[in-house]
A and B are shown apart, each in its own frame.
Chain A
Amino acid sequence: MVKRFLSLEWKQFSRASYFQKGIAIKILLFFAAAYFSAIAIFFGIGIFFILKKAMPNTDPMVMVNNFLIYWLLFDLVIRFFMQQLPVMNIKPLMTIPIKRETVIHYLLGKTAISFFNFLPLFIFLPFTIVLLVQGYPVVNVLCWFVSVMTLTFCNNFINFLINKNNAYFYSIVSVLAIFIGLEVYQIFKISEPIGVAFNTLFNQPYLVLIPMLLLVALYRINFNDIKKGFYLDGAISKKVETVSTSDLSWLDRFGSIAVFLKNDLRLIWRNARPKQVLMMSFLFLFYGLIFYTQEAYQKMPAFLAFASMFVTGGFLMTFGQLVPSWDSEYYKLLMSQNIPYRKYLESKWYLMVVAVTISFVLSTPYLYFGWKIFGMIAAGALFNIGLNSFITLFGGALNRVPIELNVKAKAFSNTNGFNPTQMLIALPKLGLPMLLFYIPYKLVNFEVGIMVLALSGVLGIVFKNFFLSKIENLYQKGKYKTVAAFAEKN
């Protein structure tokens, strides 16, 4: 039976239209996966020696065990946001004679084949080998390795539970919140006993049974939970959300584009994928911290200009680059309704302007790094509004990959809304601010660099209509192709 399921899955995968094109994307993804795997392997090999050098008096193994809990938590959080859980098409399976148990075992087994379960392998396997080479007791090391991998799978199933069942989600989150709170305020350091526990686990190899029992228990809980809900309205099929309506009439002051703005806000608020993107773009706000705090970059102001553009440009770049794709599910409606293309594009532009403005306001704490840095952020924001927004919309015209709105993006298996043209378009977005700043900076001075960067944005705003017309023509030209491409998924 499982064999047949696997063949179904394979057909679903290999016959999907996106699989049949875009070899370039696949090669790129392969390289990305290889890159991260290589980093993980080097980290796995290196961590032992790094720790040994940093703290020669402590056994690196003890240190690793002390910090293991943080890794596991991190793993869980990343999984929660990134790991796509299988929504199996159970409808056709419910009426044919297959045991429910078989389907559920298969479904749970499938979650095991996830990139997130293999990544730790890349770190811990080399680490284990290093330990063995370093002469740690073989049985202890191997049992410890098995424990860690088992705990990884525990995370896999915990994630399944909290994703499908709100009760588990809230209880686990509140337990975590309490312990993190206690830890931060140094009332009770839960990480210490946990560290001791992991060390005991290492010293007493037979204790490997504990994580294993935990895994079995979690599997059973998941199994029963799914079994209870093995009906069309149950856990493995889609959830029906409760409606959250809010009055958005305050947006009416934006005039004729208000109707689109309202729609876009609802789009972002009510769908999993745009929400994920919004969260990502929030993280961009902290991008500056990487650059401004490093002494090395202070002498390379071109990189500072680059970072400053990123601080306010997160939403613009993550959301903006997929502009027509966000509306792919109902693109035919937009194309046949009484909508001038211009208004549609203009509303997207305003949305980006609003986002950049909000990001800019949120970036005021960067004043801490001084007026020069903040001036750069302000210039970067102007560049984003005036030029970057148009470049992004321009790139969108070349983007014809449909997006499933209410599905989370999967790490390394989702190519939705991503194509090589996007990569090419990204180059001017990243390079232009650096050039615009660096050339006048080299020729004159820092202040002039900032002014030129800001001025470029102002010029973009002045020539807004010109740019929008050009972009509109491009969208019009590609209309039939876009309609056809977006219809493919439906």
Chain B
Amino acid sequence: MITTSNLSKKYNDNLVLNIESLEIPKGQSFGLVGNNGAGKTTYFSLLLDLIQPTTGQIINNDVLVNESEDWKPFTSSFIDESFLIGYLTPEEYFYFVGELRNQNKADVDALLSQFEDFFHGEILNQKKYLRDLSKGNQKKAGIVAALIGNPEVIILDEPFANLDPTTQIRLKQIIKDLAETKGVTVLISSHDLMHVTDVCERIVVLEKGEIIKDLATSKETLKELEAHFAG
């Protein structure tokens, strides 16, 4: 589904990302871990064509990402708060994203109704603008908005950060379902090794922009990761 080849990103002389090749098949739940500055967000930004690659390319479902816009209809993402429109209420925001992805109000409502648990009564009908919601609630709204319109690729940067424990557990279930039952390719990054090993079938460790581990998740994965980052 997503093929990365010879991809690198340099800021001045500082090489922040250098991936020779990375293949993510359709329907995989893919986890990216690494310390701060490892290049996780840089990679996601390149996937979304928000920054220009210094060399190489990403092909998303046969579309060359930095040359065509055709990946947009089947790719959705939530990277940070700049993906929210602060002056809208959550409902307005969902309908806005829905309209962009050719979903009418009823479609969006049907989708939202599946996430009532996840919202925990703190998102819908609150009569608040998104900019006035707490960080955690903003994140919930952003993540759910990324699920609107049956995307085939979903990119979430640090989805577990700022969420309360209940929501973290619910989010894990949602992500698993997406990959397993709906065949959606889910890419997430996280600092929380436990969450990533719970959710992802495959985990890639980035360090200073390079891939240094590529693991299929098993019982030992968490231990291996912990050992790696401890030492």
Contact = CB atoms under 8 A, between A and B. Distances in A.
A355 B228 CA distance: 60
6 contacts: A263-B85, A263-B88, A337-B97, A337-B101, A338-B72, A487-B82
A490 interface: yes
Interface stretch (A183-191, A236-244, A433-441, A452-460): A236-244
A245 B72 contact: no
Given A240-B132, A332-B50, A337 B100 contact: yes
Contacts of A263: 85, 88, 96
Interface string A230-252: 00000000001111010000000
A336 B100 contact: no
Interface size grouping (class) on chain A: 20 to 34
Nearest to A489: B82
B132 A335 contact: no
Nearest to B72: A338
A332 B44 CA distance: 12
Contacts of A241: 129, 132
Contacts of A267: 87
Interface string A457-490: 0000000000000000000000010011011001
Contact of A333 (B83, B92, B132): B83
B89 interface: yes
Contacts of B87: 266-267, 270-271, 405-406
A340 interface: yes
Which of B79, B87, B129, B149 has the most C-beta atoms of chain A within 10 angstroms of its own C-beta? Answer: B87
B201 interface: no
A329 interface: yes
Interface in B66-116: 69, 72-73, 75-77, 79-89, 92, 96-97, 99-102
Given A245-B89, A406-B87, 5 more contacts: A330-B84, A332-B48, A336-B49, A336-B83, A406-B86
A45 to B, nearest CB: 47
B127 interface: yes
A332 B82 contact: yes
A242 B127 contact: yes
A339 interface: yes
A62 to B, nearest CB: 51
A245 B141 CA distance: 18
B38 to A, nearest CB: 19
Given A259-B99, A339-B72, A329 B86 contact: yes
Interface of A is mostly: helix
A326 to B, nearest CB: 11
B36 interface: no
Interface string A381-423: 0000000000000000000000001100000000000000000
B216 interface: no
B15 interface: no
Interface in B5-60: 48-52
Contacts of A43: none
A201 to B, nearest CB: 46
B127 A333 contact: no
B191 interface: no
Contact of A330 (B76, B86, B100): B86
Interface string A308-341: 0000000000000000000001111101111111
B96 A259 contact: yes
Nearest to B77: A336
B50 A483 contact: yes
B213 interface: no
B129 to A, nearest CB: 6
B128 interface: yes
A274 B100 CA distance: 24
B172 interface: no
Contacts of B50: 332, 335-336, 480, 483
A15 B101 CA distance: 40
A490 B80 CA distance: 10
